[in-house]
Structure 1
Amino acid sequence: MPRASCPFKRLGFILGIKDKVAIVTGGAGGIGSAICRRFGEEGAKVAVFDINREAAETVAADIRAKGGNAQAFAVDLTNQDSVITAVTAAEQALGPTDVLVNNAGWDKIVAINLYGALYMHHAVAKGMVERGSGRLVNIASDAGRGGSSGEAVYSFCKGGLIAFSKTMARELARQQISVNVVCPGPTDAPLLDDICGEGERGEKLRTAFTRAVPFGRLGQPDDLPGAILFLSSDDASFITGQVLSVSGGLMMAG
């Protein structure tokens, strides 16, 4: 079952997250907002990055209302200047980036999933190299590991992101910067609605996705933050270049 929500009162439950600065792209979306709230719950300083400034501020305000520390930043991930501006503003407001979670990827598929992640790495990793520490977590998809009918371009992007992450893991290892990948399966979030569409055909597709998952249900946004927080934590300090499926058993590959 999805992790039950709770007030922000268990700060520091995951080792090495409290007081760290975490940037989450696509932070106003279904999965992104769940990731942001979990980082807030664990005592991180959360930079909610989203193209929709108002929606990002709603997430940040909710985190602050529960005792967390979060600020919202508008960013167009398809524009490198916008990315650099947003990262600079976030680091001036919250401090140097300790954790980057590249989660965004709903619209403009290639530009956000590939170039957006590239621009974010470029903007954040330089400071991490100078400090000799950092955590980079990229959100790909099991579609990028084993393919998915009707999602050719999306699978192309996510497969590319996995390969990019493994290369960056090798290049940044000597600076003690980890780069790992979390791969959701079919998740009950806006992207799945876009893929399935509406009406009878949409319901049939959702049913097919559900039946494909050994656990017998679609993923929920709250299923993802635990794995992401772990890979961002001190407990994962010797883990890099790994791909972890969080998909109810949809992909069982090493």
Structure 2
Amino acid sequence: MKVPFNIDLKDKVAVVTGGGGVLCKAFAEALASCGAKVAILDLNEEAAKKVAEDIKKDGGTAIGVAANVLKIESLEAARKIIEEKFGTCDILINGAGGNHPKGTTTKEYFETGDLDVKELTTFFDLDPEGIQFVFNLNFIGTLLPTQVFGKDMVNKKSAGIVNVSSMNAFAPLTKIPAYSGAKAAISNFTQWLAVHFSRTGIRVNAIAPGFFETNQNAKLLRDEEGNYTPRADKIISQTPMGRFGTPEELLGTLLWLVDDGASGFVNGTVIPVDGGFAAYSGV
């Protein structure tokens, strides 16, 4: 991938968690295109290594490393590998996250008769373990990598952390209370970290993507024939630009945030990239 931005990240070491996914793969490729040495971390080692191989074929420098963002010993092992091959971390992208069916309701609106319908998952049926999984994956899965890789970033010149929040953090979507709450926690945590690290040289910001088609939401947005589902049509009707975003449309914001020369006084921000979804009242 060649990005149309004049950002120089030569000799920087970037770590991207969740790097095997659609959006974070694009992040990793963009960072490598700007000269960074990129470590792609993912629970799926094969996916991580595939992204790294694609980057290397394009002339970049990358490695794929298996890592579980919920286990600090796994992250420490990944950190050791990265330090041996590339050096210590300068840029951390906390991209690992996601939702779970057990943290999701069947319907958008609860009605009194729903209590007697066994086929439905109502608010009252939400599984605490499912809720916990979503909060852990998104919040703890951001906190632990920051603890592990953040130590190497203290007092470095131009060190930066970019978390991945969501437009759900601005206004919760129906049916997904766990994911919406977890992403709101990420936005708050981003601000907290920015203040906490502000005397160390580490800047902390977040991107809040709107709706992008990924492997994770494919079944929610398209039916078996590839057509948009009613929920996808509803999303697009509430997005002023009238479409889903593409991963490439996140890259300008990402690279701006990690480049100290371009955004050196930007700290503690959560930037929506959502086609105007959060700004639209629906009328």
Give TM-score, length-normalised by structure 2: 0.81
| Deviation of 1:87 (Å) | 1.9
Residue aligning to 1:243: 270
Deviation readout 1:49-99 (Å, 9 max, x if unpaired): 111111111110111111100000001112121112112221221111110
Residue aligning to 2:109: none
Matched, 1:67 2:59: yes
- Measured in 1, the distance between the counterparts of 2:181 and 2:20 equals 24
| Deviation of 1:231 (Å) | 0.2
| 8 Å CA contact retained: 1:137, 1:181 | yes
Matched residues, number: 245
Task: Tell me which amino acid in the other structure corresponds to 1:170.
Answer: V
Which is worse superposed, 87-96 or 105-114? 105-114
Say which of 23, 36, 39 aligns to 1:31. 23
Matched, 1:172 2:197: yes
**Larger Rg, first or second structure (1 or 2):** 2
Deviation readout 1:156-195 (Å, 9 max, x if unpaired): 1100011111001001001121000100001111232254
- Measured in 1, the distance between the counterparts of 2:35 and 2:6 equals 9
Residue aligning to 1:207: 233
- Measured in 1, the distance between the counterparts of 2:164 and 2:211 equals 13
Residue aligning to 2:244: 218
Query: 1:114-133 residue pairs with structure 2 within 5 A?
Result: 114-131=139-156, 133=158
- Measured in 1, the distance between the counterparts of 2:221 and 2:208 equals 19
> Which stretches of structure 1, 4 residues or longer, exceed 3 Å deviation after superposition?
130-133, 194-202
Query: 1:1-254 residue pairs with structure 2 within 5 A?
Result: 6=2, 13-15=6-8, 17-106=9-98, 108-131=133-156, 133-193=158-218, 195-196=220-221, 198=223, 203-234=229-260, 235-252=262-279
| 8 Å CA contact retained: 1:48, 1:59 | yes
| 8 Å CA contact retained: 1:189, 1:220 | no
- The residue matched to 2:174 in structure 1 has which SS? coil
Task: Tell me which amino acid in the other structure corresponds to 1:30.
Answer: V
Deviation readout 1:117-165 (Å, 9 max, x if unpaired): 0001100111211436510000110001111111210011100011111
- Measured in 2, the distance between the counterparts of 1:191 and 1:229 equals 24
Give TM-score, length-normalised by structure 1: 0.90
The structure in which a higher percent of residues are helix is 1
CA RMSD in angstroms comes to 2.1
**Structure 2 unaligned spans of 5+:** 100-132
| 8 Å CA contact retained: 2:10, 2:35 | yes
| 8 Å CA contact retained: 2:236, 2:243 | yes
**Structure 1 unaligned spans of 5+:** none
- The residue matched to 2:217 in structure 1 has which SS? helix
Give aligned-pair identity as a percent.
31
Task: Tell me which amino acid in the other structure corresponds to 1:78.
Answer: L
